[in-house]
Amino acid sequence: MEEKKGITLNIGGEGLIEDVLTKEELDRLTPSDVIALLKAGNQRFVQGAITLRNHREQVRKAVKGQYPKAIVLSCIDSRVPVEDVFDRGIGDLFVARIAGNFVNEDILGSMEFACHVTGSKLVLVLGHKHCGAIKSVIDDVKLGNITRMLAKLKPALEASSGYDGEKSSTNEDFVQRVTEQNVLLTINQIRKESPILAEMEQKDQIKIIGGIYDMDTGKVDFLEDVT
């Protein structure tokens, strides 16, 4: 048996059986603890050393309740497998996914449920390299409901107007600039439009941070010092 902060791993013949976090164990974790756990998990993912889990057993253990450590807002991109990226198992994370990882009323409500009701300690806005939604807003794509969806990302494009270089979707450096701006603006929007989360962050009950997933390496660069 291997003991880690907030988790107990029982090593058996069918892989690791990770005990589902209890409310008491979650309460003992700080937002910084959760960030450290996600960073360590991402390092294992990058190294190809992700945990072999007994999902069948985890499903049974999670039936009576859930106390995830964090809520992650991610793009819908199928190349960003959020739980795997952080080497987390069943019951570890809330995950909200929408193209371009922006927030709306429903996602804000989901974040408030995760943190204020359930006790999650972290809100992570996760952008990624080579984002199709970001490239589409740069190209001013117009198609059905996609048009209105991309309008939510235009503030990030406008915030990147001072970029000194080719402002096109074929310039990966510019795409990265807009992607980062989108994450930062989304974090600020969460604080502005959710007084509940803003107050929790001010009281150090949660942290609201960003990250960029590098599809080429699997590494997440965390953007913690956002004001």
Span 6-59, pLDDT tens digits? 444 444 445 555 666 778 888 899 999 999 999 999 999 999 987 766 556 555
Written as one string, the DSSP assignment of 190-201 is HHHH-HHHHHHH
Alpha-carbon gap, residue 82 to 76, rounded angstroms: 10
- Judged by DSSP in three states, 70 sits in strand
β partners of residue 11: 16
pTM exceeds cut of 0.75: yes
User: What is the average per-residue pLDDT within 112-118?
Assistant: 97
Burial class (CB in 10 A: 0-12, 13-18, 19+), 173: exposed
Q: What is the pLDDT of residue 16?
A: 53
pLDDT digits (tens, 9 = 90+) for 169-188: 999 999 999 999 999 999 99
* Angle ∠(62,106,91) on CA atoms, nearest 5: 15
What percent of the chain stands above pLDDT 90? 74
Domains of the chain: 2-223 (3.40.1050.10)
Q: What is the pLDDT of residue 26?
A: 85
Q: What is the pLDDT of residue 13?
A: 45
Neighbour tally for 54: CB within 10 Å = 19
